[in-house]
Chain A
Amino acid sequence: MSITISNISKSYKEVNALNNISFEVKKGELFGLIGPDGAGKTTLFRILTTLLIADEGEATVAGFDVVNDYKSIRNHVGYMPGRFSLYQDLTVEENLNFFATIFGTTIEENYDLIKDIYVQIEPFKNRRAGKLSGGMKQKLALSCALIHKPKVLFLDEPTTGVDPVSRKEFWEMLKRLQQKGITILVSTPYMDEAALCDRIALIQDGKILEIDTPEEIVKHYPKTLYNVRANKMYELIENLKGYEHQYSVYPFGEFVHYSDTRADFDPEALKQYLEAKKLTDIIIEITEPTIEDTFMELAK
């Protein structure tokens, strides 16, 4: 086991940030922590990276206890905080050199690990970090977190505020790192990224809702889910919400995800109801639930 967490709780005065959290991450796994803002993701990261001490519970990272062996952990983990936290007034190369030096290594020593990522920002190595674009900042931060060849990599919302292309590239990089045997714990508020993880934990209000592979998680969705479309989106949502048998109504792209309370739900009846409400071009079809649907269902 690369990370074990058992019964971890942490409160900040009034707020209960983490409530009796337990789970394990296997070696070489890409594990996602999925949850909205304020769910407690960053608190958990800070406990695992020895920046914060939990009120209760125990945790180990790479076999070291987060409280007693915190020094060893700091040698073996890479952490990329949610906020860009490199020196903006130092250049790309200086930042990388700085972190290599304080980890007691050099860029050359572990160059093969960061090569894929670093070559993309190398043309800008004399540019100050503060002047990089969002995607390049992420790549630099990832390079700095990897420079000492960590066993476990913690990435706290690495793709928040990054454009879709860079996001996709970033996840491809993570997949490659995983193949090199690095355990990765990544948090994200984006449900579409969750599907790229080996396993995910859905977290809300400091509690774990569900832990499983993305494929299994969606099977937990208890109802049959329908895509509903009509000519007027807003009226469609309003009318579906007003429908007496509705179980859940969430807009999802160009469709509305709808589920019904009745087991013997007949889409035709719903279509008639909507037509009576003067909506046209109505399409109702069965669809596969996504992680987002499952999360919304579990978070209810």
Chain B
Amino acid sequence: MKTIGYIVQKEFKQIFRNKGMLPIIFVLPLLQLIILSNAATFEVKNIKFSYIDKDHTSASRALIEKFNASNYFNVITDFPSETLASSAMLKGEVDVVLEIPRFFERNLLKEKHTEIAVTINAIDGAAAGVENVYINQIVQAYNKKIQVGPMQPSNQMGMPKNIVTIPSFWYNKTLNYKTFMVPGILVLLVTMITLFLSGMNIVREKEIGTLEQINVTPIKKSQFIIGKLFPFWVIGMGLLTTGLIIAKLIFDVPMVGNLGVMYLYTAVYILVILGIGLFISNYTDTQQQAMFIAWFFVVIFILMSGLFTPIESMPEWAQILTEFNPIKYFVEVMRMVMLKGSSFIDILPQFSKTLLYALIMNGLAVWSYKKAN
């Protein structure tokens, strides 16, 4: 016990003496949290909108005025012809071209039916999808207005009643993406820092030769490993705490659930990450190798965590793979506890899987750590 205590003490001394490392551990992650949470938005704004109006009537102008009034669209210009419009699209000057055909107003009034053409730049597929939804919403709203306008006196009775959906977004009423992203990004930071630090730490001792000296001492494998990893566990928990404080103070993210549950889960989760880090460092000889391998796993874990893209929309084989992704569980638990107020019973499936993962990873790591070869 005394030995472990001394190793822990030594590790902390080394961490706090490493002037280059301190800001990386404590300042950069929090900056990232603040910057990323503000920047990583799924909202699409400032869409460059243009139109070709072949009708030039009050109806067509009213439609364009609708777009003008929306704060998502910037009406850039109008084009006299499709050729000009498509060349502007090619140059990237506009994102959306709305084409209003001739007799737009006449058809709308007489035949109650007309068509407009919308061209969307879909290089960024996700943005194009969102833009399409916005355009549809505006056109529909316009439609309703037209219907209640000129058609009013004749046959209001015969008109089908409009079915209106009133969405109610539970757990995130205003669909505030920050509420959704901050817990997720916090997860990333805790994971990345603890994985990189633990992965590189033992390799560093290998690189500078101190491990050789340690290995001829009677110190036990378990003492050494616990002593080495415990400081990073503390750092991980510290990061979570600071991250939560920032989330509350700067982003005002609701914290509905019990913080105790969140800390309990994180305590086990960091063990998984430390196990992975130790495992990596056992099979590498330099910090560079360890860094690249850790990076490889982190990228896969992040992209398949459901943080940026929903897991439900992944192909089935990928969904099965995400079962082995610890970040996925952490993201789920963070969001469940913070936004939904889930209790320990609710997160039990994630908790037990993470615990099992921690046992397996650390078992493998300790088993593969050899003092002699």
- Residues of A that sit less than 8 Å from B by CB: 49-53, 70-71, 74-75, 77, 79, 81, 83-90, 94, 97-99, 101-104, 144
Contact = CB atoms under 8 A, between A and B. Distances in A.
Given A75-B218, A102-B214, A87 B10 contact: yes
B324 interface: no
18 contacts: A50-B216, A51-B216, A51-B371, A52-B373, A70-B372, A74-B218, A79-B216, A81-B213, A84-B209, A85-B210, A85-B212, A86-B213, A89-B13, A97-B6, A99-B213, A102-B3, A103-B218, A104-B218
A98 B12 CA distance: 13
B17 interface: yes
B18 interface: yes
Contacts of B13: 89-90, 94
Centre residue among B3, B218, B371 by max chain A CB count within 10 A: B218
Contacts of A52: 372-373
A53 B216 contact: no
A83 B3 CA distance: 25
A51 B211 CA distance: 11
Contacts of A99: 213, 217
A74 B213 contact: no
B219 interface: yes
A74 B208 contact: no
Interface in B1-48: 2-3, 6-7, 10, 13-14, 17-18
B309 interface: no
Given A87-B14, A89-B14, A103 B373 contact: no
Nearest to B2: A101
B215 interface: yes
Interface string B191-229: 000000000000000001110111111110000000000
A94 B13 CA distance: 10
Contacts of B2: 101
A89 B217 contact: no
A85 B209 contact: yes
Given A84-B209, A89-B14, A90-B13, A102 B216 contact: no
Nearest to A141: B213
Contact of A87 (B210, B212, B372): B210
Contacts of B218: 71, 74-75, 102-104
Interface string B343-373: 0000000000000000000000000000111
Contact of A90 (B14, B212, B215, B216): B14
Nearest to A85: B209
Interface of A is mostly: loop
A75 B218 CA distance: 6
Determine chain B's interface SS by DSSP, over half rule: helix
Nearest to A71: B218
B6 A102 contact: yes
Contacts of A101: 2-3, 6
B216 A77 contact: yes
Contacts of B372: 50-53, 70
A103 B216 CA distance: 10
A73 to B, nearest CB: 8
B364 to A, nearest CB: 22
A94 B209 CA distance: 17
Given A51-B372, A94-B13, A102-B219, A88 B208 contact: yes
Given A85-B212, A87-B10, 19 more contacts: A49-B216, A50-B371, A51-B371, A52-B372, A52-B373, A53-B372, A53-B373, A70-B372, A79-B213, A81-B209, A81-B213, A83-B209, A88-B208, A89-B17, A90-B10, A99-B217, A102-B219, A104-B218, A144-B213
Most chain A C-beta atoms within 10 Å of own C-beta, residue among B6, B7, B213, B371: B213
A269 to B, nearest CB: 55
Name which of A51, A88, A103 has the most chain B CB atoms within 10 A of its CB: A51
Report, nearest first, the 7 A-B pairs whose CB atoms are least far apart: A85-B209, A101-B6, A79-B216, A85-B213, A74-B218, A83-B209, A102-B219
A75 B10 CA distance: 21
A102 B218 CA distance: 7
B311 to A, nearest CB: 43
Nearest to B214: A102
A187 to B, nearest CB: 15
A263 B215 CA distance: 55
A51 to B, nearest CB: 5
A87 B208 CA distance: 9
A86 to B, nearest CB: 7
A88 B207 CA distance: 13
B360 to A, nearest CB: 27
A169 B192 CA distance: 49
B17 A74 contact: no
Given A98-B6, A102-B6, A89 B18 contact: yes
